[in-house]
Amino acid sequence: MKVTFYGHACFMLEVNGKKLLFDPFIRMNALAAHIDVESIAADYILLSHGHGDHVADAKEIADRTGATLISNHEVVTWFQNLGVANVWGMNIGGKRKFDFGTVHLVNAIHSSTMPDGSYGGNPGGFIIEAGGKVLYYAGDTALHKDMELIGLHHRPDIAILPIGDNYTMGVEDSLLCCNMIRCTKVIGVHYNTFPPIEIDTVNAIRQYEIENKELILMEIGESKEI
């Protein structure tokens, strides 16, 4: 599995020859101005919920690449109504085998309105089983007890967790999440994009080290084999 970070909560996962783009929010992110959206290829676009800071570039990239949009039923229907050709709707608790691996749509505690204010279903997170590895992307969420089920059933090798606080978990809750999901390796996302989610990154990394866990904070545009 290879991960490329595109800023905020957007990243590309490359596995089994497929490109999975998560929560594209690039053009409107000033910190990601050096990323050329038009050069991003995708076979699938996975959306955790309907908020603009997770779906802003989804239609443009889906239209250009023909990628299949995977999200909850309401989010994919909204995009289908905008003319996106290929969509796959799921709902919380369901799993589906695709040509790259298996996707589980799991619970997140957050909200999910679409950019035009219409209903965006329930927010979710994704567990991807592919290439002999398990990755958990929590989406925007509070810490919640259902995460223990992920520890029981999935034991992710790596978790991509929000750490910016205010709208989602912060660093302390992300450490509790690690214990619940039984994972010690985290890529932090959803921090430092806007003033309300600014964090002390040096301190965040130190807090992880104290608990013998690893917090990876990637540069925007950086790729990493995981």
Q: Footprint of Mn ion on this chain (CB under 5 A)?
A: 53, 140
- Binding segment (CB under 5 A) for Ni ion, from list 43-51, 56-64, 114-122, 194-202: 43-51
Q: Are 196 and 225 in contact (CB under 8 A)?
A: no
The distance of closest approach from Cβ of residue 51 to Mn ion in the complex, given in angstroms and rounded to an integer, is: 5
- Binding segment (CB under 5 A) for Ni ion, from list 46-54, 91-99, 113-121, 182-190: 46-54
Report the partner that residue 43 touches, choosing among Mn ion, Ni ion, none (CB closer than 5 to 8 A by kind). Answer: none
Give the DSSP letter of residue 166.
Answer: S
Give the DSSP letter of residue 69.
Answer: E
* Residue 79, helix vs strand vs coil: helix
**Closest to 41 in 3D by CA, of 72, 16, 10, 20:** 20
4 vs 168 by CB, closer to Ni ion: 168
Q: How many CB atoms lie within 10 A of CB 205?
A: 17
131 vs 164 by CB, closer to Ni ion: 164
- Judged by CB under 5 A, the number of residues near Ni ion is 2
* Per-residue interface string for the shown chain with Ni ion, residues 125-164, x marking contact by CB under 5 A: ---------------x------------------------
**51 touches Ni ion by CB under 5 A:** yes
Report the partner that residue 14 touches, choosing among Ni ion, Mn ion, none (CB closer than 5 to 8 A by kind). Answer: none
Burial 1-26 (b: 16+ CB within 10 A, else e): bebbbbbbbbbbbbbeebbbbbbbbb
Question: Six-digit token pair at 12?
Answer: 């590309």
- CA torsion 216→160→57→98, rounded to 10°? 130
> Beta strand 102-107 with 95-97: parallel, antiparallel or unpaired?
antiparallel
Report the partner that residue 8 touches, choosing among Ni ion, Mn ion, none (CB closer than 5 to 8 A by kind). Answer: none
29 vs 131 by CB, closer to Mn ion: 29
The distance of closest approach from Cβ of residue 193 to Ni ion in the complex, given in angstroms and rounded to an integer, is: 12
Q: Are 24 and 48 in contact (CB under 8 A)?
A: no
Residues contributing to the site for Ni ion (CB under 5 A): 51, 140
